[in-house]
Amino acid sequence: MLFAIYCPLFYVLFVTALGASAKLDVSGRRGLGQTKYGRNLEGMTPAQQYARTLTLRKPTRRSTAQRRQESPEPRLSSNRVSSLAVENAETGATVGNLVYESEAWKVSRLDSASAITFTGNPTATSQRQRRLVLSSTDVVTMYTNVGVGQCNVGDEVHLKKGSANVLCLVNAVASGTFVGSTPKTLATNMHPSGDSVAETDIWSLNFETGIATPEWINPDGTTVSAQLVVAKNDPSTIYVTADIEASSQALGLPLVAVTIKFALGG
C-alpha cells in the first residue's frame, strides 16, 4: 500500500530534478555547435564561421604587433683615394697632379698627388654630396676638407649659365658644411680669418669614370654642376665656374676645362 503511494511521488520528484538539471546545463555550459563567442554556428558555412570569429577577436595591441623589418642601409666605409690627377676635359691629356702644399692647392707635374679619403659605399656606381678629406698622413693642416669657396672676400658666389662669377678650389676647417647646405662662412686656407664663404660636402664621385665633380649650391638653394677650369698659360690654380666663356672674358684669361681624376686604394 505504501509502495503504491510513494512510487508515483518518487517518479515526479525524479523528473522534476532531471528537468532542472537540464536547464542548468544549458545555461551553464555550451551546447552542441555553440562557441565561446556566444552564438550557435550551426547552419553557417566555414567562411561565415571564420568571419564571425574575426569580428569578435580582441584587437592586437600596438606594443605586441610584429614590426616590419626595414631594409638594411648600404654599408659605408672610409676609403682612401691614392691619387688625384688633373686632366684636360676635352682631350683627356694629363695637366698634372693635384697637390696640397704650403696651405694651397696647385697643379704640378713634378710632385706626387696628395691623398684624400671619403666615407661612402665603394660598390656603388656613383655617389653624390660626399666629403673629401685631406689625408693626415700626407699633410698636417687644420684645413682638411676639400671644397669650393670665394677666391676673394666679397666675391659674388651665385653660379649660373651666362654669369662670369668665379670661385676657387679651397680647403676648409674640419667642421665644414653639411649636406645640402648653402654657402657658409668658414675659415679656409685662402682666408684663415674666417670671413669668406665656402661649401664642402658637394662632391659627386663617379666610380666608373673616376671623376670627381663639385655640385655648388647657390644662396637661393639652386644647384649647379660646376666646371673646374685652369688658366691655359698658368694651370697652377683651379677655378670653379658655371660659364667658361663668360668667366674667361671677365678675368681676361683663356680658361681650359679640366676634370679631377681619382683612383681608389693605396
Q: Is it the case that residue 146 has pLDDT exceeding 80?
A: yes
pLDDT in tens, 162-205: 999 999 999 999 999 999 999 999 999 999 999 999 999 999 99
- The most confident of the ranges 82-91, 112-121, 173-182 is 173-182
Cell of 266: 693605396
Average pLDDT over residues 79-105: 89
pLDDT in tens, 197-237: 999 999 999 989 999 999 999 999 999 989 999 998 888 88
Q: Label residue 107 by pLDDT band (50, 70, 90).
A: very high
pLDDT value of residue 54: 57
Residues 256, 84, 77, 201, CA torsion sign: negative
Average pLDDT, the chain: 79
Report DSSP letters for the chain, one per residue.
-HHHHHHHHHHHHHHHHHHHHHHHHHHHS--TTB-TTSSB-TT--HHHHHHHHHHTSPPPPTTTSPPPPPPPPPPPEEEEEEEEEEEETTT--EEEEEEE-SSSEEEESSSPPPPEEEEE-TTSSEEEEEPEEE-TTT---S--EEEEE-SSTT------TT----EEEEEE-TT---TTPPPEEE-BSS-TTS-EEEE-S-EEEETTTTEEEEEEE-TTS-EEE-EEEEETTEEEEEEEES-HHHHHHHHTS-EEEEEEEEEE--
Average pLDDT over residues 86-100: 94
21 or 105: whose pLDDT is higher? 105
Diameter over CA atoms, the chain:
145
Cell of 159: 653660379
